[in-house]
Amino acid sequence: MPLVHHLYQLQQLDRELETVQQALLRLEEQLAHAPEVEAARRRLQAAEEEHRAQQRKFQEAEHKADALRRKIQEIEGQLAGGQVRNPRQVQVLQEELTYLRRKLDEAEEAAIHHLMTLEEAQAAVAAAQEGLEQVLARRDEREAAWQEERLRLQARQQDLLARRAALTDQIPEEALALYEDLRGRKGGLAVARVQEEACEACGALLSAARRQEAARLEVITLCPQCGRILYAP
C-alpha cells in the first residue's frame, strides 16, 4: 500500500485513539468522584445534627418541668402538713404556687412543642437515610455501567495500539518523524485530503501539477500554504 495512504490511515487511528483515551480519562474522573453521594451524606449528617439539637432542647424542657413539679409538690406538702400557720405566710406560699403552676403549664407546653419538633427532626433523618440509600443504589448501577464501558474502551485502545504498531512498521522512519512533527505542530492534523482542488485543512487552491504529485501516493507532497502532507486518493 502506498506511503501516503498509510500515513492517512495512521492519522485516522491516532484520532480514534485520542477519542478513546479522552473517554477513558472522563470515565476515570467519573469513577473517582461521587459528588451526589457526598451531598447525600452531608444532608444526612446535617439532619442527624439537627435531631441531636432538638433532643437536647426537649430534654431541657422536660427537666425544667420536672423541677417545677418537684417545687410545687414541696409547697403543697408544706401547706397540707400544716407546718405553716401564719396566714401571711400561707398567702405567700399560695401565691408562689399559682405562679409555679402557671410556669409549669408553660414548661409543659414548651416540652410538647419541642417533642413535635423532635419528631419532625426524626422524620427528616429517616428521609435523609432513605435518600442516601437511593443515591448509593443509583451510583452502584452507574458505576457498573461505567466499569463495563471502561473495559470496552480499554479493549478498543489495545486493538488500536496493536494496529498502529503494525502500520508504523510499514512506514519509513523519516516519513513517520515528519508525520509526528506535523501532528504536534498542526493541531493534530498532519495529513490533509485534497478536496475540490484545494487543501481541506487550510483551503489553499492547489495547482494541477501539485495535485498530480499528491495523487502519486508513494511520495510525500506538502501543501504549499500550511505545510501538511497532501492526500489525494
Give the binding site for Zn ion (CB under 5 A).
Answer: 199, 201-202, 204, 223, 225-226
| Virtual torsion, Cα 17, 18, 23, 24, nearest 10 deg | 70
Q: Name the β-bridge partners of 193.
A: 231
66-101 burial string, b = 16+ CB within 10 Å, else e? eebeeebeeeeeeeeeeeeeeeeeeeebeeebeebe
C-alpha cell at 138: 443509583
User: Which is closer to Zn ion, CB of 32 or CB of 208?
Assistant: 208
Nearer to Zn ion by Cβ, of 80 and 208: the residue is 208
Taking the complex as a whole, the smallest distance from the CB of residue 225 to Zn ion amounts, in Å, to 5
Q: What are the Cα distances from residue 188, in Å, to 5, 24, 38, 207?
A: 17, 19, 38, 25
Give the residue with the Cβ less far from Zn ion, 131 or 227: 227
Task: Compare residues 75 and 222 and give the one whose CB is closer to Zn ion.
Answer: 222
Q: In whole angstroms, how close is the CB of 206 to Zn ion at the nearest point?
A: 8
Residue nearer to Zn ion on the CB measure, 77 or 233? 233
Which CB sits closer to Zn ion, 111 or 229?
229
* Shortest Cβ 232–Zn ion spacing (Å): 12
Q: All 3 cell numbers of residue 97?
A: 404556687
Please state the closest distance from residue 209 (CB atom) to Zn ion, in A: 16
Shortest Cβ 13–Zn ion spacing (Å) = 22
Chain Cα centroid distance, residue 219: 51
Is 216:224 a contact under the CB 8 Å cutoff?
no
Burial class (CB in 10 A: 0-12, 13-18, 19+), 129: middle
